[in-house]
Amino acid sequence: MRRSVVLGLAVVVVLGFGVAYKQGLLPAWVDGQVASSGPPASGRGGGTGKAGARNMVPSVTVATAETGNLPVRRSTIGWINSVSSTTVTTQQQGVVTTIAVANGADVKAGDLLVQLDDRAAKATLARDKAALARDQATVVSTKADLKRAQDLVARQVDSAQQLDQAVAAAASAAAVVQLDQANIDADQVVVDDMHITAPHDGRLGAFAITVGSLVQPGTTVVVLTDMDNLEANFTVSDADVGLLRQSLSAGNVPVRVSPSNPPTAAVSGQKAGGDPAQATPAAAAEPAPVPAAQATVDFIDSNINSGSGTMAVRAAVPNRNREFWPGQAVKVEIDLGSHSDVVLVPTVAVQPGQNGSNVFVVKPDQTIDVRQVQLAGIVGDRAGIVSGLEAGDNVVTEGQLSLANGMKVTVRDGKPAAAGAAPATDAPKTDAPQKKSGVPEQVSGSEAKL
């Protein structure tokens, strides 16, 4: 009895499903599954044969190989240092009375940074200047005594002993004046040290002292860094040391320095009307233009590090616009000569293969010839080839994924599509009747037709 009931319910469900399918009452996704499981109707999928035949011949974009020179360029990671980075310290003991500039300020050589209490130093200087004036008067007196003693000895009125004493007194007074002048010079140094100034141009860090602090000789005041004259420190492989030395003997060795982590700029959009509620979400961060500096090598080390097999190199980097910061990691590209008369192709035309690098060449009969090539190097969007390819060959730059040796292809225009243009599709039109279901019809892609 129970089995009969179950069979009856199954028959009812199947009949109901068939009626709903014929009247178009099924959801679109169920309808698609049913239609795909059975033989295609005469009205469904019409024209797919022509589209399939048309898609069997892939279309590609090509570029023509040409002969030229390619730089011998090496890329590495380095870091930025300042040519002059000075820790400014105190030379005298004193109390800080004034901090003349703000943290992080740009200063020139000689600018006042910190003022210490200099009253005691100025008093000592004034005392020694007074002593100098007194002793200079003594010198005048002793010189007069010496002159009189000389006259008396010449007339044989006075003894030679008196003359010797006058000479000694005059010399002693002159020596005292010299001592006073030395004391004044020392006092002036102390007074000057109470005014802490910038030793060179640069940018200040944060002050390590505050007004009212009692500082001792050697106390750190602030770090002053020259931001306009920097240097990039990096290493080259011992295999390239010979090329580097040859390049240096021929002239300047150019170096291109750019940030290893370029900045990004987030762009956000808003719909017309300015309604904040309708604002579109912020777009993905886009890389900002990468600042780069043209530098030159000004130093190579005198030995190769046996542990790493590299040699230290330094390049002078101008930094007038403050693109770089001391301690920053940078990407360094150094040119060590050039490859002459090599075949040049776009970098995207070179594809990795099992035995090396390959390029896909379109022969005059529009068939593909897969060639193994030997690379001289890759610089930016250009690749240099020393064997396996000749100038004038047409190489595939787009569409290599589905290609094979001997395959027939069509060459399409390599110009980019106009901005905003919708991509062309070869999807066949179908003549299937439209369902009258209240459920939205499911369409492949990212949008649904209601």
Considering the entire predicted model, what is its pTM? 0.60
- Choose the most confident range, by mean pLDDT, from 104-113, 274-283, 299-308, 348-357: 104-113
Give the count of alpha carbons within 13 A of 318, CB side only: 6
Joined tokens for residue 15: 């009949």
For residue range 35-78, list pLDDT tens digits in order. Answer: 444 444 444 444 444 444 455 688 899 999 999 988 888 889 99
Percentage helix, strand, coil, to 5, in the chain?
Answer: 30, 35, 40
Joined tokens for residue 294: 């043209």
* d(C-alpha 390, C-alpha 65), whole Å: 7
**pLDDT at position 399 over 90:** no
The pLDDT score that the predictor gives to residue 356 is: 87
| DSSP designation for 348 | G
Buried b (16+ CB within 10 A) or exposed e, 42-75: eeeeeeeeeeeeeeeebebbbbebeeeebbbbbe
Joined tokens for residue 300: 């190579």
Does 127 or 27 have the greater pLDDT score? 127
**pLDDT at position 269 over 50:** no
The confidence band for 355, taking pLDDT boundaries of 50, 70 and 90, is: confident
What Cα–Cα distance (Å) separates residue 238 from each residue in 70, 235, 264?
Answer: 22, 9, 35
Confirm if 111 and 198 have CB atoms less than 8 A apart.
yes
Confirm if 70 and 377 have CB atoms less than 8 A apart.
yes
Paired strand residues for 357? 352, 373
Confirm if 384 and 344 have CB atoms less than 8 A apart.
yes
Terminus-to-terminus CA distance in the chain, angstroms? 47
Strand residues in 211-355 grouped as ranges (E): 214-215, 220-225, 229-237, 254-259, 264-265, 286-287, 293-300, 310-318, 329-346, 351-353
Q: What are phi and psi of 393, to 5 degrees?
A: -70, 145
The residue assigned the tokens 């509620």 is 277
